């Protein structure tokens, strides 16, 4: 299934739950991925330390994937990069601090030369297929927390990572309430909001995307056997992918 002349949203992980943020936007036959995170195992999965979203939906359509844009450097937004980035085969995009931590992960996994990592200046707009976007700084508990303002032929998306309103943050100069209000006043077709790892949605793109991605919203409900020999995985701790040990 290719996105048509429309704006679609598909949450493979992280929407309505804590951790493993992996979100897709679709338009004009192309998909954009925002974040590639993981979460840590909980008591209900004894012996499992890492949990990954099931990426089968986009793995089957990776020829239509234009890139992975990372909002910030917390593990629930970048932790799955060394496990899946090489297989997805598209460039990663991040601001300088996030890119530095991602590069360290790729180096440790022996993938630094295998995965293209592009550093985006905080104010520099960039284009990936039908998606034109820019980072918008947000206060968070890590440097360079960001939202994304994504322009498409079918409307604007305001997508946040985790965030808070803070008039005097310890790190960085985030957007003000007035700047965020101005974005709302300009109108947004779809709003994806994350706060402390949780997510919510509003906008006309959601019903269509639920139909398009039926059965692929993970939440550890469907089983999928993962390839334990993936590049970069090595002998690390047992992990869950789509609810199955990997």
Contact 38, 75 (CB under 8 A): yes
- Could you write out the DSSP letters of every residue in 49-69? -EEE---HHHHTTGGGEEEEE
pLDDT for the residue 6: 93
Q: Is residue 230 part of a domain?
A: no
Average pLDDT over residues 234-244: 40
pLDDT for the residue 191: 61
pLDDT for the residue 108: 96
Mean pLDDT of the chain: 76
Q: Is residue 233 part of a domain?
A: no
Give the model confidence (pLDDT) of 100-147 as tens digits. 999 999 999 999 999 999 999 988 999 999 999 999 888 777 878 888
Q: Is residue 90 part of a domain?
A: yes
Which CATH number is 102's domain given?
Answer: 3.60.15.10
| Number of domains observed in the structure of the chain | 1
Q: Is residue 87 part of a domain?
A: yes
pLDDT band at 180 (very low <50, low <70, confident <90, very high): confident
Instruction: Report d(CA 235, CA 229) in Å as an integer.
Output: 9
Q: Is residue 229 part of a domain?
A: no
Question: Mean pLDDT: which of 25-34, 135-144, 171-180 is highest?
Answer: 25-34
Q: Is residue 232 part of a domain?
A: no
């Amino acid at each position: 299934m290719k996105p048509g002349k429309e704006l679609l949203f598909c949450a493979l992980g992280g929407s309505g739950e804590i951790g493993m943020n992996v979100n897709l936007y679709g338009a004009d036959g192309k998909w954009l991925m925002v974040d590639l995170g993981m979460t840590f195992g909980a008591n209900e999965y004894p012996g499992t330390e890492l949990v990954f979203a099931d990426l089968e939906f986009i793995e089957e359509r990776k020829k239509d994937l234009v890139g992975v844009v990372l909002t910030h450097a917390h593990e629930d937004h970048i932790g799955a990069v060394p496990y899946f980035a090489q297989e997805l085969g598209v460039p990663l995009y991040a601001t300088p601090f996030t890119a530095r931590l991602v590069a360290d992960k790729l180096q440790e996994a022996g993938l630094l030369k295998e995965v293209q990592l592009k550093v985006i200046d905080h104010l520099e707009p960039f284009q990936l297929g039908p998606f034109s976007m820019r980072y918008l700084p947000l206060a968070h508990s890590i440097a360079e927390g960001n939202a994304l303002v994504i322009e498409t032929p079918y409307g604007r998306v305001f997508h946040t990572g985790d965030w808070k309103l803070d008039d005097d943050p310890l790190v960085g100069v985030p957007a003000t309430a007035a700047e965020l209000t101005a974005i709302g006043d300009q109108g947004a077709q779809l709003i994806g909001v994350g706060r402390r790892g949780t997510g919510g949605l509003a906008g006309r793109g959601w019903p269509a995307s639920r139909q398009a991605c039926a059965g692929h919203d993970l939440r550890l409900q469907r089983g999928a056997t993962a390839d334990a020999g993936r590049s970069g995985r090595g002998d690390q701790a047992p992990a869950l992918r789509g609810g199955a040990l990997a």
